[in-house]
Amino acid sequence: MTAVPARADDGWSGTPVASSAAGAQDCAQVLLVGARGSGQEAPYGDTVDDVRAELASRVGGRRPDLRLAQVYLDYPAASLDDIDTASVENVVLGDESATAPAYVASVEAGVSELERLAAAEAQRCPDEKLLVVGYSQGAEVATRALGSGALDGNLLGAVLLGNPLHYDGQNVTELDGTASNRSYGLTAALYYLKAELAASTGDRQAQVTRLIEVVVSMYNGTVDTTTLASAMTGIGASVPGGDAPRTWSVCTAGDPVCDSTDALARVFTSSSALEEEHSAGSANHDSYTPDALQNTLDAVAAELVDLPHAQASSPESAPSRSRRGLLYGGLGAAALLAGGAVIVVRRRRSPRTGAAGG
């Protein structure tokens, strides 16, 4: 991991400091936390940095008074080099003797650091709001931190791009993306498959046959929702319902990281290897540019623009200021409630009519 020197941030244009050094910054209204993807170098990686730049363009001129600080999540963001077909089968088929990929330890480190950061900032700056943007592995890290409830106290919002923990029925808001509502991220799919096979008997070939049956059920939208919910809760992928309106998820069809069903079917039928699927679907996984995130960025920008303005000193009397504050506060609360009623409905898309590829 490339080290980036910690220094005070000066808003949207500043260089983010490591999350481990966040306490050296002044408190802000918003702390932007960027969680880069697998194998990307600190601070943000290109995908998260493009989101930051687009938000700066949309919000900076409208809210020049907004006090913003930036940190990048200080975690390994291990590459996927050691995630291959054999390691995937070991996860699903329960080979406890197999060595866990470095990816697993990287995710755990990221979750611990994000939870630590949220707790420390809530203690140090109780009025500060967190805006978390995670891509790929970073989105999985953010999802698990959301699932633990560690971000609830001061969360402004979370943006999850190409999330390995994406699944049908997740408590998220989907305003962009082309994947159907039957798409399952790689991590979510593997642990659901593992849960389905936990009670199965027979040799490895019989288990692989059962795997194919379950993968087909995922594609057809006939999964066992009870088993799915239990598996997702067990791995910390269950986002609290109250966070759904402010958790924006985007998945591109054919992205083998967030829409893995077709790729896994080919892997488990030995018609392809996981490494080949990642290579073939790389363009889809790299598709999370601002042009593909217009509605999501609009929603996030609206939350930032609507944040309360800092009170300026004025010669008017204290009672007058108080009455005006109550009026504006009431109008602001009504607007937020109205907006929440709109975006809490999770957009449903028509199922795919053909194989998405990967």
Residues 317-336 have pLDDT tens digits of 333 333 334 333 433 333 33
Q: At what angle do helices 85-93 and 204-220 cross, to 10 degrees?
A: 90
Rounded-to-integer distance, Cα 182 and Cα 221, Å: 6
Q: Any idea what the Cα angle at residue 28 is, between residues 73 and 152, rounded to 5°?
A: 60
Rounded-to-integer distance, Cα 229 and Cα 356, Å: 25
Q: What is the 3-state secondary structure (H, E, C) of 270-287?
A: CCCCHHHHHHHCHHHHCC
Question: For the chain, which domains are there?
Answer: 17-343 (3.40.50.1820)
Rounded-to-integer distance, Cα 209 and Cα 205, Å: 6
4 CB neighbour count, 10 Å cutoff: 17
Phi and psi of 166, rounded to 5°? -75, 140
| Cα 346 from chain centroid (whole Å) | 16
Buried b / exposed e over 225-250, threshold 16 CB at 10 Å, is eeebbebbeebbbbbeeebbbbbbbb
Per-residue pLDDT 10s for the chain (358 aa) are 444 444 333 489 889 999 999 999 999 999 999 999 999 999 999 999 999 999 999 999 999 999 999 999 999 999 877 677 777 777 777 665 556 678 899 999 999 999 999 999 999 999 999 999 999 999 999 999 999 999 988 999 999 999 999 999 999 999 999 998 889 999 999 999 988 888 776 677 777 788 888 888 888 888 999 999 999 999 888 999 999 999 999 999 999 999 998 888 888 777 888 888 888 889 999 999 999 999 999 999 999 999 998 754 333 333 333 333 433 343 333 333 333 333 333 433 433 333 333 3
Residues 210-247 have pLDDT tens digits of 888 888 888 888 899 999 999 999 988 899 999 999 99
Residues 242-255 have pLDDT tens digits of 999 999 999 999 99
* DSSP letters for 190-239: HHHHHHHHTT--S-HHHHHHHHHHHHHHHHHT---HHHHHHHHHHTT---
Closest CA to 274 of 287, 288, 260, 253: 260
Question: Tokens in use for 276?
Answer: 């080949």
| Rg (alpha carbons) of the chain, rounded to whole number | 21
pTM of the model: 0.82
C-alpha separations of 81 from 38, 85, 102, 140, 188 in Å: 9, 11, 9, 17, 19
